[in-house]
Amino acid sequence: MEAPIIQAKNVDVFYGEKQALSQVNLDVFEKQVTSLIGPSGCGKSTFLRCINRMNDLIPICRFEGDLEIDGQNIYHPAVNVVALRAQVGMVFQKPNPFPKSIKENVAYGLKIHGLTNSKSSLDDRIEWSLKAAGLWGEVSDRLDEPGLSLSGGQQQRLCIARAIAVKPRVILMDEPCSALDPIATAVIEDLINEISKEFTIIIVTHSMAQAARVSKRTAFFHLGELIEVGRTKDIFTNPSNEKTQNYITGRIG
C-alpha cells in the first residue's frame, strides 16, 4: 500500500485529569475517505480535532504523542498553526456560514491566506469551489445574497465550498449530515465521494450505513481507544474484534 498522508503515533489526549484518547495509532491514506465510528463519548471528535490542532483552543486539553502529516510532526513548536489549518480544513455538524454573502464565504479563506492575487483569479476560484461543491447551478445568479439565506443542505455545501476553496490536503468532517434531511444527506454523500478524488477526507459519523456508503476505510473507537481499523467492507462484515462486532450489531452504542 502507498505511504499514509497522516500518521498518528501513540496519541494520548487529556481534558484536565480525564484521559479522552489512549495510545491511538492510525494511518490515513491519501485521496480516499476514512470514517471514524464508535459510541458517543469514545473520542471521535477529539481525535479529529487533533489533526488541525483545534484542541489547542480548549485550554484544559493536552496532547501527547506524535501526529505527522507528510512525515512532519504537526505538534512541533515551529509549526505555523494558521498554515496548518489551511492544509487541513474542517466542516462541522451544523452548517456555519459566516453572516456574509455566498461569495464572501468562499472568498474568506483565499483572502486571509493570500491565495489569490487578482480579482479575476479570485472569481475563478470561487466559481471552481462552488462547482466542486455542487452548488454553482443553484447560486450562480445570487452570489451577493447572504449565505444564511440558503437551505440547510445548501449551507452545508457552501461550507464545503469554503473548505475546499483553499485546496487543503485534508478535509475533516464531524457528522456533516446530522442536521440534514435524507435528500440533502444523499447530495452531501455524493459530493464527498466526488471530492475524495482530489482530497483526503476523514468523516465522523453515527450512521454505519453512511460509513459503508462513503468510506473506503473505517476506524472503530471505543472508550478512547482505537479498537480496529481496516477496509470498511471488512469492518462491517467480518470485524476481528469482539467490541467492533458488538457495536455494528447494535449491542453497544
Ligand X SMILES: Nc1ncnc2c1ncn2[C@@H]1O[C@H](COP(=O)(O)OP(=O)(O)OP(=O)(O)O)[C@@H](O)[C@H]1O
40 binds ligand X (CB under 6 A): yes
Q: Strands 217-222 and 88-91: what pairing?
A: unpaired
20 binds ligand X (CB under 6 A): yes
Q: Considering the complex, what minimum distance in angstroms separates the CB of residue 203 from ligand X?
A: 12
With contacts defined by CB under 6 A, name the span among 40-48, 65-73, 126-134, 155-163 that binds ligand X: 40-48
DSSP for residue 146? B
Residues 157 and 133 sit within 8 Å (Cβ to Cβ): yes
Integer Cα distance of 231 and 90 in angstroms? 23
Residues numbered 141 to 160 that lie near ligand X (CB under 6 A) are: none
Which of 43, 65, 95, 153 contacts ligand X by CB under 6 A?
Answer: 43
Binder of residue 89, out of Mg ion, ligand X, none (CB less than 5 to 8 A by kind)? none
Determine how many CB atoms are found less than 10 A away from the CB of residue 170: 19
Query: Residues 238-241: contacts with CB within 8 Å, 24+ apart?
Result: none
With contacts defined by CB under 6 A, name the span among 22-30, 42-50, 74-82, 108-116 that binds ligand X: 42-50
With contacts defined by CB under 6 A, name the span among 22-30, 44-52, 147-155, 228-236 that binds ligand X: 44-52
15 binds ligand X (CB under 6 A): yes
45 binds Mg ion (CB under 5 A): yes
Distance, first Cα to last Cα, the chain? 32
46 binds Mg ion (CB under 5 A): no
Residue number, 75 or 154, with CB nearest to ligand X: 75
Q: Considering the complex, what minimum distance in angstroms separates the CB of residue 217 from Mg ion?
A: 19
The overall longest dimension of the chain from CA atoms, in Å, is 56
Query: What element of type H or E holds 21?
Result: strand 18-28
Integer Cα distance of 89 and 71 in angstroms? 19
Q: Considering the complex, what minimum distance in angstroms separates the CB of residue 197 from ligand X?
A: 27
With contacts defined by CB under 5 A, name the span among 45-53, 108-116, 177-185, 241-249 that binds Mg ion: 45-53
Query: What element of type H or E holds 165?
Result: helix 152-165
Q: Strands 217-222 and 33-37: what pairing?
A: parallel
Interface with ligand X by CB under 6 A: which residues?
Answer: 15, 20, 38, 40-46, 58
For Mg ion, the binding residues (CB under 5 A) are 45
